[in-house]
Amino acid sequence: MNIRPIRTKSDYKAALKVVSALVDRDPAPGTREGDRLDVLATLVQAYEAARHPIDLPDPVEAIKFRMEQGGLTVKDLEPIIGKSNRVYEVLNRKRPLTLAMIRRLHRDLGIPAEALIGEAVGD
C-alpha cells in the first residue's frame, strides 16, 4: 500500500493529491483502493487537526446556530434559560450563562458544554 505518516507540508500536499484522485475513482469500501482512501483520509484528518485546530464557537453563537439549525424560537428556549426577557438578555450578551443554563442547554439541545463555557465575544 506504501502509506507513510504525514509530517510535512509537502507530505500533506502529496497525500491530498492521492486522496483527490481516489475520491474521483470512488472505490468500493473494502477494496484495496477503498482501504487506501480510508487510511489516507484518516492521516490527512489527523494532520489537519494537529496543525489547524478549529476553535470552539462563542457560546452565544453556538446557541444561535442551534436555534437556526432546529428552527427554534425564543419561546422554545424559555424552559431552558428562563422567561423571554432573560433569553433576549443572554442572546444580546447582556447576561452571562449560568451553570444551570449551561447544563440544560447541553442536555436539552445537545450543545457541547465546552462551547458553552467559553468566554463570549466582548467579555
Instruction: Note the CATH architecture for domain 59-116.
Output: Orthogonal Bundle (1.10)
Q: Considering the chain, what is the average pLDDT of its residues?
A: 92
d(CA 26, CA 36): 12
- pLDDT interval class at 122 (50, 70, 90): low
Q: Where are the domains of the chain?
A: 9-51, 59-116
**Residue 13 in grid coordinates:** 500536499
Q: Poorest-confidence range of 44-58, 63-77, 104-118?
A: 44-58
How high is the pLDDT of residue 56? 80
| Per-residue pLDDT at 123 exceeds 60 | no
**Residue 75 in grid coordinates:** 419561546
- Listed in sequence order, the residues at least 6 apart from 119 whose beta carbon sits closer than 8 Å to its beta carbon are 58, 59
Size of the chain, expressed as the number of residues it contains: 123
The pTM for the full model equals: 0.58
